[in-house]
Amino acid sequence: MIRHRLIGTVVCGVAIAACDRKTAPPPPSIEPPAVAERIAGGERLGWDQQAADAHQLATFRYAIYVDGARSDLADASCETKRAAAGFSCSARLPAMSAGAHTLQLAVFIVEDGARLESGRSAVMHVIVGP
């Protein structure tokens, strides 16, 4: 599993946005590797998510941008027990063609039919092997 961390500013921003609906949550933050990560294409992406509690965490959904194209991470899941770094989350990476790609994450909530999405995380570079 490719493991990177989404840090606490995501949670606070989503909670504020859900309350006043005037401000989108701030972007998640990942710690990309110094060089492109080589992957086979079937890996899961992992991160630690800060949240007030498991109930709040359950309202979060995640999107991935592959080369700028957005898709929901439909199978994203998070542990319900908090660890020292937050709630451990992961999702299967979408299918990607062989070659170099850029990945970015975003967190969003849907409330009353409206989607409030954070900005995109820092870019993570991957190279998908054949």
Residue 69 clears pLDDT 70, i.e. is over it? yes
* Domain positions in the chain: 2-128
Answer for the pair 10, 26: CB distance below 8 angstroms, yes or no.
yes
Residue 20 clears pLDDT 90, i.e. is over it? no
**CATH number, domain 2-128, options 1.20.1300, 2.60.120, 1.10.20, 2.60.40:** 2.60.40
First to last CA, the chain: 18
Residue 48 clears pLDDT 70, i.e. is over it? yes
Answer for the pair 97, 5: CB distance below 8 angstroms, yes or no.
no
Angle in degrees, CA 73, 19, 107, rounded to 5: 15
State if pTM tops 0.85: no
Which of 44-48, 56-60, 102-106 is predicted most confidently?
Answer: 102-106
Residue 76 clears pLDDT 90, i.e. is over it? yes
